Structure 1
């Protein structure tokens, strides 16, 4: 296979070759166009602090320093807001020496402000797997806004594999946009495709976002379309100055001004914006699959949902303010599955949308 992001058919080949193994076995539902969903195993630990294994030690060895108690997820377990947990994943890897990987939270995970990061043995980085890695996988989970009920088999994060250099530089991105329009507005291309926030309501006094309610109830992550929105979220409408003022410590769901389209021969990842932008962070599920919002899958552009948390000081966020950038990567091959056409895709054609656990408002 040529350099680039490994597509769905390549993931199946990796499973057959034993480069991806799992107990229980990997299911068809886990295979996405350009990534693999990772499932929670049965063993978890409440830990006193977030940690990395470091270059010379395994995660299991570091648990002796940080574990407070072990948790069996089989009957269901509550992960509480403000706590940090480590969960052993069902999958393990035996990568070839020319293949690396990166992980990210799934869309629904990010929209619940559920910080989820991948950890591997002998590593000093979250969400990155070095080329040739062989060993187990763990998820660090820290609920920030809502306490959640989890069980084995739930997928909160996903992993994307690549060979060689896959990222498109700005010149290649300009050429791709000329050939296959990537956004429905004039693109801002500088170290990737700029993403800005939409704070203009469709009608006067209309909705532009959601703000999480503090001290809301428990969310069972297995329940889809179950929870009433009003018990967990309050609507956000434009302020008198045309934007909104973010409150310190608050969590918001907003939407991008741009409707994006991901051509089938590419994948994309949303990258954090520099902290110099102000007292806020856009913390999002970062993977955009081939076919997302694209005409080949019946799409006409899909907005990017932005998960925004304000830091220490109130911050005035303005309409059209750049809050992130999409870095595009070439696929090693066009996937035989595409987002919105061949898989059950919850967010194709989305605008402002909460996670799949809530009823339509």
Structure 2
């Protein structure tokens, strides 16, 4: 499935070569596990600005040119700083880019970031879109961070989002996706392929009747460095289904799980499309990048459920068990990674079912 011409999503060894060549610049030496199989974790810098609104610089301006119009005050992250729920922050990152003319980039929140409802997007100078970087971009990177459900304690070096790089066309069309499924069994049931691989929601009763979790509206602070630390009941309330159905409340944030177990072969990556207007007024995923090896048997997965980070919009919505709520877009790798998710590096969510972020105690 990897392209012999080198087109596709760049793998870990190619990302390391970009660091060596200066195409990726670092303010600080990279962490040992910063390079993932098909992406690079991005690290918060030493300061942040509280801004009054989310914004993009626009095609003719740098972010610094526009900051005076939006900044309210500057924050030193060095000793640790609280990023408050409902506020918007702008944080310079420790990484910058000097991309070749044939390489584009795209960013998304990391899994734990999305599961905390910590809305995070990448911004560049002269940017007209969030999370998308054109070939040849030369400049700094910034993270927009907006805690939606919980206030968090952040420090320099924390990794809230990740970036991946593409050369040429990477996305598989439906014909190629059907061929891939025939060889690899991408899901453990029927494959609904239409502009990607459809996935549905699992609302079957589990132990105690729980089918998901809903964020509580008034909670304490989450220190992002504290793993397996917080009691679930202090931050989440259980969600129970009635006859395989739940009602989503507008504005509320839910953690649910896909009915299908997902498999991403070693020579592919996948991304959850975040929103399908035709299936209901809700967003299904805020992170959604699956590394090569996710759910792969050789990486200890044997299929892994997709955790769904759901926010309903506009009106209450009845969600039914088995309802298709989104799609997975598969992409070919430029080369097979040297390491796989779940096999060669610490992977918190391999083989997962319904699972909150790694900050909450599992027992």
Q: 1:150 aligns with which of 150, 154, 160?
A: 154
Name 2:319's counterpart in structure 1: 317
Separation (CA, whole Å) in 1 of partners of 2:190 and 2:30: 42
- Greater shift after overlay, 276-285 or 184-193? 276-285
SS at 1:324 equivalent: strand
Name 1:41's counterpart in structure 2: 45
Name 1:11's counterpart in structure 2: 15
Separation (CA, whole Å) in 2 of partners of 1:261 and 1:30: 23
Give 1:25-40 correspondences, 5 Å limit. Answer: 25-40=29-44
Q: 1:120 aligns with which of 124, 136, 139?
A: 124
Q: TM-score if structure 2 supplies the norm length? A: 0.97
Cα offset, 1:317, TM superposition: 0.3
1:301 counterpart = 2:303: yes
Name 2:339's counterpart in structure 1: 337
Give 1:233-252 correspondences, 5 Å limit. Answer: 233-239=236-242, 241-252=243-254
Give per-residue Cα distances to partners, 1:255-310, cap 9 Å, x unaligned.
00110000000000111232232232213212100000001212210000000111
SS at 1:28 equivalent: coil
Cα offset, 1:53, TM superposition: 0.9
Q: 1:197 aligns with which of 201, 205, 222?
A: 201
CA RMSD of aligned residues (A): 1.0
Name 1:79's counterpart in structure 2: 83
Cα offset, 1:123, TM superposition: 1.2
SS at 2:15 equivalent: helix
Unmatched runs of 5 consecutive residues or more in structure 1: none
Name 1:359's counterpart in structure 2: 361
Cα offset, 1:312, TM superposition: 2.5
Cα offset, 1:356, TM superposition: 0.3
Give 1:246-325 correspondences, 5 Å limit. Answer: 246-325=248-327
SS at 1:102 equivalent: strand
SS at 1:304 equivalent: strand
SS at 2:156 equivalent: coil
Name 2:97's counterpart in structure 1: 93
Name 2:141's counterpart in structure 1: 137
Q: 1:219 aligns with which of 219, 222, 240?
A: 222
1:230 counterpart = 2:233: yes
- Greater shift after overlay, 26-35 or 272-281? 272-281
Give the aligned length.
359
Cα offset, 1:236, TM superposition: 0.8
Cα offset, 1:31, TM superposition: 0.5
Separation (CA, whole Å) in 2 of partners of 1:273 and 1:310: 11
Separation (CA, whole Å) in 2 of partners of 1:69 and 1:169: 47
Q: TM-score if structure 1 supplies the norm length? A: 0.98
SS at 1:29 equivalent: coil
Q: 1:176 aligns with which of 163, 166, 180?
A: 180
Cα offset, 1:251, TM superposition: 0.7
Q: 1:186 aligns with which of 179, 186, 190?
A: 190
Unmatched runs of 5 consecutive residues or more in structure 2: none
Separation (CA, whole Å) in 1 of partners of 2:24 and 2:325: 35
Separation (CA, whole Å) in 1 of partners of 2:100 and 2:195: 29
SS at 1:61 equivalent: helix
Cα offset, 1:147, TM superposition: 0.3
1:108 counterpart = 2:119: no
Separation (CA, whole Å) in 1 of partners of 2:206 and 2:219: 29
Separation (CA, whole Å) in 1 of partners of 2:81 and 2:285: 25
SS at 1:171 equivalent: helix
